[in-house]
Amino acid sequence: MLLQILVNGISLGSIYALTAIGYSLIYSILQLINMSNAAVFLTSAVIFYALYTSLTGSSILLTFILTLMAAGAIGYIIEVIAIRPIREKGDSNTYALISSIGVKTILEQICQGTFGSEIKQFPTLLDGKYIDLFGARTSAIQIIIITTTLLILGFMSWFTQNNRVGRGLRALSQNLNACHLMGMPVNTLIGVSFAVGSMLAAVSGVAYCMYLKSISISVGSAIGNKAFAATVLGGIGELKGAVVGGYILAIAENLVSGYWSMSASNFISFGILILVLIIRPTGIFGRKEQKKV
């Protein structure tokens, strides 16, 4: 039973981790909590469902690629329209935060108006296929989710260390003003960071709905809250912290659900978050920043 719980926790933690990286990536650059990320999670799943049922037919791969492109475009547009004007005026990040909440609300309302409030069946991969691992029955989609997440995390590590754009994002996270003075395309790089974060949210949104085999208008808020909690738990602004926080929360939830009560899982996960923040306010991997005044 324990192994089964751990497998379920790791697969759910993969969903949390991918979404949490989007939060952490934006915060590391702008010190901004992009609340629209949860809405992009939902919007991407809705786009995938709409494309699959109306345009691409039975091609899940083509639908997925088109959804990723749409999510990246949405993320870039959000930054250009809702965040960049506030940032360039030099206003507080509080206004940008409020703007991202407004974007979140708009996207959710658009999804509700076009998709409806009912639960609908969502296409999945290898439906009904299971693998037995030492007594734990693992669905094929869980294996796909875990494997895909590990590949994406490996790519993100390579991207930020070796790719020119990735190194540019790292430079922005170190000193945004210095990057301006050095003539770097700061606006473009920030837009790319929003696009990347949105594409990661799209992957997790589609994967989660495939795992559930259903989609509803409420799917984004629940995962968005947990992913944000994972970001804070691991240390907001630290990409590895977002990943570790996601897996910790998901495994803890599944342990509580398996050995105690499913209704207590939310209590335990957010209880862990509060306890860690009391002991270490910066999160597990967060570092204290010293600012000169």
- For residue 153, the enclosing domain spans 2-279
The three-state secondary structure class of 36 is coil
Answer yes or no: is 285 within a domain. Answer: no
Joined together, the tokens standing for residue 282 give 């910066």
Q: Note the helical H segments in 31-139.
A: 37-54, 60-78, 84-88, 93-115
In a domain, 205, yes or no: yes
- Sign of the Cα torsion 259, 260, 266, 267 reads negative
Q: Which pair of tokens denotes residue 84?
A: 């960049």
What's the DSSP call for residue 263?
A: G
The number of distinct structural domains making up the chain is 1
Q: Locate tokens 């609300």: which residue?
A: 105
Residue 290: inside a domain, yes or no? no
CATH code at position 96: 1.10.3470
pLDDT at position 68: 94
Q: Is residue 288, in this structure, part of any structural domain at all?
A: no
The tens digit of pLDDT for each residue in 195-237 reads 999 999 999 999 999 988 899 888 888 888 888 888 888 888 7
Domain membership flag for residue 230: yes
Tell whether 15 is covered by a domain: yes
In a domain, 192, yes or no: yes
pLDDT at 81: 93
Q: Where are the beta strands (DSSP E) in 116-200?
A: 120-121, 130-133, 136-139
**Per-residue confidence (pLDDT) for residue 79, from 0 to 100:** 93
Read off the pLDDT band of 57 (50, 70, 90). Answer: low
CB count in 10 Å sphere of residue 180: 12
Whether the per-residue pLDDT at 75 is higher than 90: the answer is: yes
In this structure, is residue 293 part of a structural domain?
no
CA–CA distance, 293 with 290 (Å, rounded to integer) = 10
